Amino acid sequence: MILDADFYYNMLSKDDQEHAQRVTNLSLKIALALGLGGELYYLKRAAKYHDLGKLKITSDILNKSGPLTEAERKEMMIHAKYSGEMLCEVKEDLRVIEIAMLHHENYDGSGYPFRLKGNEIALESRIIRVADVYDALRSERSYKKEFPVDVCKKIMIKEKNHFDPVILKALLNIE
C-alpha cells in the first residue's frame, strides 16, 4: 500500500478532522481577504494536514480535561514537528511540510518548534496560525467550552504580538 497524507488525515479523530477543515476554510478566506487569490495549493494542503502530528501524542494528553503538566505541554508542543516528519514519510511537497511544521511559530518569536519570528515564518504558516488559534477558541475542547466571537477577538487582540498584524486584521474584518 502506498501511503499519502490523506491516509494519516483519515486516522485523525472526527473532531480533529473537522478542526482541520475549519482551519483550511478560514485560512483560505484570510488569504483571499489579503488579495492572495493566486496559488493557494500549498496553504490548502498544509492547513488540512497541520495537526497530523497529534496522532503521535498520547490520548491521555490530547483528551485531558484539566491543564497540562509541564512535561505534557512539552510533549504536545512536539506535534508540529511530528506533522512535518509524517508529511516527509509520505513524500509530501517540501513547501507543504515547511508550512505545516511552522504553524505554531509566533510572530514575536515566542512560538515553537524553532522560535522563528516575523518574516522568518512562511506567510502561509502565519495565516494558519491565526486561523488555528481562532478556531481553537471558537471550539469546545476537553479542557474548555467554546468562546463567543467577540471574546475570541478580544483574546486574540490581547495576544496580538503572537500574530502577523496584517493577518490578524484580516481575520478581525472577516469574522
61-88 tens-digit pLDDT: 988 888 889 999 999 999 999 999 999 9
160/163 Cα distance (integer angstroms): 5
Comparing 88-102, 121-135, 142-156, the range with the smallest average pLDDT is 142-156
- The backbone torsions φ and ψ at residue 83, rounded to the nearest 5 degrees and listed phi first, read -60, -45
Cell of 133: 488559534
CB atoms within 10 A of CB 23: 26
Other Cβ atoms closer than 10 A to 53: 22
Structural domains in the chain, sorted by start: 5-174 (1.10.3210.10)
Match 502577523 to its residue by C-alpha cell: 164
pLDDT tens digits along 22-43: 999 999 999 999 999 777 999 9
Look up residue 162 and give its three cell numbers.
503572537
Residue 120 has pLDDT above 90, yes or no: yes
- Catalytic residue, chosen from 29, 54, 91, 144, is 54
Residue type, 101: M
At 84-108, the pLDDT tens digits run 999 999 999 999 999 999 999 999 9
Cβ-based neighbours of 145, under 8 Å, separated by 6 or more: none
Region of 13 (left: φ > 0; alpha: ψ -120 to 50; beta: rest) is beta
What pLDDT score does 2 carry? 61
The phi, psi pair for 144, rounded to 5°, reads -165, 160
Indicate the DSSP class of residue 153: H
CA distances from residue 132 to 2, 41, 97 in whole angstroms, order as listed: 29, 18, 17
Residue 95: all three cell numbers together: 513547501
Label each residue of 86-117 as H, E or C.
HHHHCCCCHHHHHHHHCCCCCCCCCCCCCCCC
Whether residue 54 lies in the annotated active site = yes
pLDDT reported for residue 121: 98
